Amino acid sequence: MDLNTVRALGDRLREEVHRVVVGQDATFDLMLVSLLCEGHVLLEGVPGTAKTLLARSFAASLSLAFNRIQFTPDLMPGDVIGTNLFNFQTNQFVLTQGPVFTDLLLADEINRTPPKTQAALLQAMQERSVSIDGKTYPLSPTFMVIATQNPIEQEGTYPLPEAQLDRFLFKVLVSYPSRDEERAIVARHGHRTAMPRLEEFQMRPVIDRGGLVQVRQFIQGITLREEIVDYIVDLVRATRERPALLHGASPRCATMLATAARAHAALAGREYVIPDDVKSLALPALRHRVVLAPGAEIEGMTTDAVIRQLLEQVPAPR
């Protein structure tokens, strides 16, 4: 495993996904970084911006087990993690595994189910295991959640608890495509009204579970200099000292950001992290972990604007 292999992997995955999805390069790049550093990603955007299609295409480019959960208001925790059912033939309880027993889980419209069911993913996302009736069951070592959600201003949505948001490495805002991209979308998919069938595009899996584990181990060896460590810590701690923010980011955010910066550097063909790696990932890594103060919200400020100010004010190493 070397840097050329990692870069080639990123290019091949991007090529496969672009067989189906037009544009969304920035979103794909963050999903790839998240995959390579054992993170989870939350995609937020209005309906019809290809969030689910992008997640399904991303999964199709990987030779990994894939499951999907359509979150609804009546979904129960057992529908997510599984439950023990009594077998009358053997007079024993038998575990019926839920969709989380997979490598890649698409949690579609995750904020359309109440917090009780959303919380069923907490242990799975952090510990790669679930507890059912007092017994702990391990999940796949490559377990990853790609969750999609609609903006909370829309009807029928529930805000995700802060504890669950903190489990996501990135929150990516999926925007509308440009005019040229939208024209290409219509030209490619304008002959159907349903979601495209991935089989029509002859997508080929690029990497399997064993290869992914090797890449992740390689990324752990990317150099993170002391100055970069200080920069990440100072940036995260600055969110807790900003009057415009009611709550700042957690120490978990700092460790996740450092790991993601390593993956970002490897995909760029570098054996070491530079400040630009941190800066390019700071916004999606921080935006869902900070809470805007009421006064700042009344003034029309946004969390993204506050984070951008911090990136300008916190000195970066040279």
Per-residue pLDDT tens for 179-209?
888 888 888 877 776 676 777 777 788 888 8
For the cut 80, the answer to whether the pLDDT of residue 297 exceeds it is yes
Domains defined for the chain, CATH in brackets: 3-215 (3.40.50.300), 221-313 (1.10.8.80)
What's the rounded mean pLDDT across residues 23-40? 89
For the cut 80, the answer to whether the pLDDT of residue 83 exceeds it is yes
**Tell me, what's the pLDDT at 313?**
92
What's the rounded mean pLDDT across residues 41-55? 85
For the cut 80, the answer to whether the pLDDT of residue 127 exceeds it is yes
What's the rounded mean pLDDT across residues 158-185? 86
Say how far apart CA 225 and CA 41 lie, in whole Å: 26
What's the rounded mean pLDDT across residues 116-127? 84
